[in-house]
Structure formats: structure tokens, C-alpha cells
Structure 1
Amino acid sequence: MTARAISFVEVGPRDGLQNEKAIVSTADKLELIRRSIAAGARRIEVTSFVNPKRVPQMADAEDVCAGLPLTGDVSFIGLVLNARGAERAIATGRLHELGAVCVATDGFAIANQGQTSDESVAAAKAIVAMAKGAGLKGQATIGASFGCPFEGEVSEDRVVAMAAELAEAEPVEVALADTIGVADPAHVSRLVRRVVAAVSPLPVRVHFHNTRGTGIANVWAAVEAGATVVDAALGGLGGCPFAPGAAGNVSSEDVVYMLHRAGVETGMDLSQLIEANRWLSGVMARELPSMVAKAPRFPKIVQE
């Protein structure tokens, strides 16, 4: 039975921008966060604490955190890959959650984090513990859950075992990320159902890229299979500096349109998202990949 509501996570300020070559100003990142809040986002991945030489777009992580609005009903998430990143994130005093990442294959784990897959799981569990020790929440994502840019197919059994091990750290949720956009709805349905069973009662979160045009279908398959938290990025921007061929995230506008039409609530305002899309297009100086913002409004608003 399809859920009546999901929890929506806006990842545009981090995953949407991290692979962009033209540096986006801190002021524009903060405006993107402000517009996301105005559109209804109550969980926002605002930045990542990584080596600025490897990901120059995220070099202003501390400055972004310093400028975050003071609001009591929005949870700001900082992505961290190691203990040093976690320490930096905690030191800002402005975040509510740390997002840890482990990777399903050695090849991508070494490229992304300089460690093996098993080592990345241990590091993610340690980050969750650090977050909780600092009075924050910890969340864990399994990167390359559906396929690896270096090793190809990824064993579903491997991903399920990783999810079960992560659950031992008691994060707020376990996420499955299709880092390079290779998943199909049947694969998503199988794997999400298995991970839901493996980590219950923890929620399962999903993160899809639309590299091959299957992203929106994969969101639907995941929700029907029991995922209750969905990532998306305004405009469909995104990519990973360490995953060759990774293209944009599923767009916030497209995900919200589809789910609302299907009777699944997200807490988001589609009109505000489309308005934010047009603003962000100006910042990026190009049309963004999302489809809904380009299409005529449906259903049309009838003027009295």
C-alpha cells in the first residue's frame, strides 16, 4: 500500500551544487536555503565538510553554517566523510544532523573517501556516534547501492548486510543512494523492501540521480516499497566529483508534482519550488534539468 505521506529532504545546497565548476557565492547558497524553507522544506542538506581542494564548491561550509537562519522547525544537515569533517560540522554549532556516507564497493569507497568499503561502514558508525555524543542526530547513507562506476553491478546481499550493520549504530535512518543513476524500478523495489525488513523500525531514505532518465520512476518504486524519506534537489542539479558520469539528482519539482498527483503528501509547495527554480536558473545562468518547471501549470488555476 502506497504511503500517504513521506518526509522530504532538499539536498540542492549540497549535492545540487557540489559538482558545479562555477563557484556559487555563499550569499546565493543561503538564499537557496531560504527559498527551500519558504517552499516547505523542513530538512535541508546545507553543505559538506570535505577537503576544499577536492571539492572547491564546499570550501565555504563554515560560512554557510554561520549564515543559516535561526528557525526552530527546520533541521539542517551537514554531510561528513570522516571524523575531521564531523568535528568541523559540530564546531559550527548550527547543524542539527550529521550525514555519514559509506560505500558499497571498495573501488568507489577508495576514490570517494580513501578507504575500503568495510572501513567506510566503520567510519559511518563512528560519525553517528559522534553526532549523538554532541547532542545531534546522525544519519547514514550507503553510496553506490545500485551500481558502481568502477566495479559495475553491486550485490544486493552486500547492501542489505551493510544496512543491518549501520542500524546497529541507531542512526535516525538508513539511506540508499543511486550515486550514478543506474537503478531501475524493479531493482529499487526489491532492494528497498529487503532493507526495510533488515533495519526496521528505522526509516529507509532514498537518494536517486536521473542520469539515465529513470530517477522519478525509481522514487515511486521506492515509496511503494516502503521508503518514507526522499531526497531531491531543486532544479535537478547535482553530481559527484568522484563518480564518473554521475548526473543530476531527481528534481524537487518533479518529485513533488508526481507524489502530490498520486495523493502522497510531502509538505512542499510546488508553486514556490517553481519560483525558486526560476531564481536558481538565473544564478546558474542556464535552464535547469527539471521538467515540471518547464511545463504549463496543471491543473490550471481558474480565475473567479
Structure 2
Amino acid sequence: MPLPKSVKMVEVGPRDGLQNEPTPVAPAVKARLVDMLAEAGLTAIESGSFVSPKWVPQMAGTPEVLAAITRRPGVSYPVLVPNLKGLEAAEQAGGVDEIAVFGAASESFSQKNINCSIDESLARFAPVAERALANGWRVRGYVSCVLGCPYEGEIAPAKVAEVAQKLLAMGCYEISLGDTVGTGTPVKAQAMIEAVAQVVPVEKLAAHFHDTYGQALANILAVMEKGVAVVDSSVAGLGGCPYAKGASGNVASEDVLYMLDGMGIETGVDIDRLIAAGAYISGELGRPTGSKVARARGGCA
């Protein structure tokens, strides 16, 4: 299959990236980061999460972030919602028109992450998706551990396909397939996409790769060869997962963009502004950027 001529980059840094930080990041800083990412040309920026602050304290200021950002036409600002209580909080906060729900392809990870089985998690999300759709909101689905689990090892592609199909039936317009621990390799990534594409149209699939083993860019290119044209990434390589020991950050948005630019694939994103956004948040966190491209261009904090 020929490579896509354009790729949509979904920025997950302000949520998936910052949720694992050891020290709180002020809502004003998060809002400034979101605005800088939008100014760089990103049209989908995951801006927060309505999870319990007891479990993910970094996301406690999401309503303040949503109130502070400068909204740009054509840009969506989705938030993660784990249950009906979270959905109610999103409704009260205002400014929400897209949410994300998340399942896992691993039973062990589902239990560690959200204290229930995969089937129980999907049953919990069904009324959330139904109510969000009734609100006129869009719903995006995530599947975690699609290429490996810290507790179970390799995950069968058929299991990933099963969970993705259920999220699609729930009303998700797009399913993001996440290599949460970053153990996947290109051939395995392609086999997983082939399995999922049997039950979910490939144009409704997105790739979400962590770079723990340095395989993220190779995996992204591999799934693009199978028709995937939506890629999740995190500015400055922020992220990790509190329930996946050893998982490093998402692939850096700057590095993904450099690869796509070099291949002549259109994204609509300006690399200099993206590097500036990464330098800003890295400076606020007091550490160097995780992006190799930003470091090479002198964009370190």
C-alpha cells in the first residue's frame, strides 16, 4: 500500500505526557503549552483528563486549563473520561466537545490500571460514550498494550482487534492503538494493524507508540505502510505510564514531524514552533527535552 500523502498528528503531551510527572504543573503552564501547540499547527491536542485526582493528581486542574486556553477554529481539545462521574465533571467544566475512553488488550493491565476486567471496562464506557454522543460530542477510543504488556508479555493481535471492534461499535469515530510499554517492532506492528483492519476500517485507526526500546519511528513508518494516517505523539517526548513500570515517554512530536517532513508528507505543522513548545514545557519541568531533533537543533531547555 502506498504511504499516505498527509498524516494527522494528534498531540497527547498535555495529558498523556504530563500525567506521569512527579511534580504538579500549574494549569496556566499547561494552557500556555496547549496554545503554543495550536499555534504550531496541530489540530488535535489532548488537553486534560477528568480522572480522580487521588489517582492522577497531575490532571486535577483540567477545568482551569480548558477555561484558560485560547481556542482556535478547526482545533479540537479532547479530554480523557474514565466513567460517568468523569463525564459529569466534563459537562460541568464546559468547553468540552470531544472525549476519549480507553480499554486494554491485556486483562492484567486492565486490572492494574482501572481495577476491572476488559469486559467490565467496556461495559463501564458504554453509557459514557452514549451520553457523550447524545451531547453532540465526538468520542475517541484508546486500546492499551497492543504490542505487549508488562505483566503478560506479548499480546495476540486478535485480542487487540476484539477490543477495537467493541469500541467502534460503541460509537468511537477513531481507535488509537497504543504500544504502552514500547516493546513492539515493525513486523509485529504491521501484523497487529492487519488483524485490527479486518474489523475496523484502517482510516479509523491511529498509532500511539512509546519509544522505550527506540522503536517508535520505525513502528510508525511500518503502520503507515499499512494505511494508518493518524499518529499520536507527545511534544518533547513527555510521558510514560504509572501502571507500566519502565515505560518511557511517547515518541516525541518533533521527531515524528521531522521524519514526515523529510518524506514529503503533509501535516500542516511548523517544526520550529513545535520545537519552541517543547523547549517551553521542558524549561518549566527543569530538564532537557526528550526530542532528538530538538536537541540537534539546539532546542534544549
TM band (smaller chain): over 0.9
Residue type matched to 1:137 in 2? Answer: R
How far does the alpha carbon of each residue in 1:38-85 deviate from its partner, in whole angstroms, 9 at most, with x for none?
A: 110111100011111111111111111221223332101001111211
Please state whether the residue corresponding to 1:40 is helix, strand or coil: coil
Alignment-derived partner of residue 36 in structure 1: 37
Q: CA 1:226–1:202 in 2, change beyond 3 Å: closer, same or farther?
A: closer
For the 8 Å contact 2:38–2:72, the answer to whether it is kept is no
SS in 2 for 1:199: coil
In structure 2, the residue matched to 1:300 is none
User: What fraction of aligned residue pairs are identical, expressed as a percent?
Assistant: 39
Partner of 2:291: 290
Structure 2 counterpart of 1:102, which letter? G
Measured in 1, the distance between the counterparts of 2:109 and 2:76 equals 29
1:109 and 1:273 mapped to 2: Cα distance? 33
Query: Any idea what the Cα deviations from partners look like across 1:77-101, whole Å, max 9, x if unmatched?
Result: 0011112112212322212211000
Alignment of 1:185-200 (within 5 A): 185-200=186-201
1:223 and 2:232 equivalent? no
Residues 66 and 128 (structure 1), Cα distance of their counterparts in 2 relative to 1, 3 Å cut: same
Counterpart in 1 of 2:162? 161
Secondary structure of the 2:10 match is strand
Is the Cα–Cα contact under 8 Å of residues 202 and 227 in structure 2 kept in the other structure? no
**SS at the partner of 2:288?**
coil
Check if 1:143 corresponds to 2:109. Answer: no
AA at the equivalent of 1:146: L
1:177 maps to 2:178: yes
Q: Residue 278 of structure 2 aligns to which amino acid in structure 1?
A: N
Distance 1:270 1:201 in 2: 27
State the 1:202 CA deviation. Answer: 5.3
Per mean C-alpha deviation after superposition, the further-off stretch among 67-76 and 27-36 is: 67-76
Deviation of 1:296 after TM superposition, in Å, equals 4.0
Give the direction of change, closer, same or farther, for the CA distance of 1:24–1:222 in structure 2 (3 Å limit).
same
Root mean square deviation, CA, Å: 1.4
Q: TM-score, normalised to structure 1's length?
A: 0.94
Q: In the alignment, what sits opposite 1:241?
A: 242
In structure 2, the partner of 1:122 is: 123
Shift of the alpha carbon at 1:11? 0.6
> Would the aligned equivalents of 1:75 and 1:95 in 2 still touch at CA under 8 Å?
no
User: For 1:1-304, what aligned pairs fall within 5 Å after superposition?
Assistant: 1-200=2-201, 203-296=204-297
Number of matched residues?
Answer: 297
Task: Answer yes or no: is the 8 Å Cα contact 1:210–1:249 preserved in 2.
Answer: yes
Deviation at 1:126, TM superposition (A): 3.1
The code of the aligned residue for 1:104 comes to A
Unaligned 5+ runs, structure 1: 298-304
Task: Give unmatched runs, 5+ long, in structure 2.
Answer: none
Letter in 2 for 1:52: P
8 Å contact 1:90–1:131 — kept in the other structure? no
CA distance in 1, matches of 2:165, 2:27: 38
Q: Give the Cα separation in 1 of the matches to 2:13 and 2:40.
A: 13
- The residue matched to 1:282 in structure 2 has which SS? helix
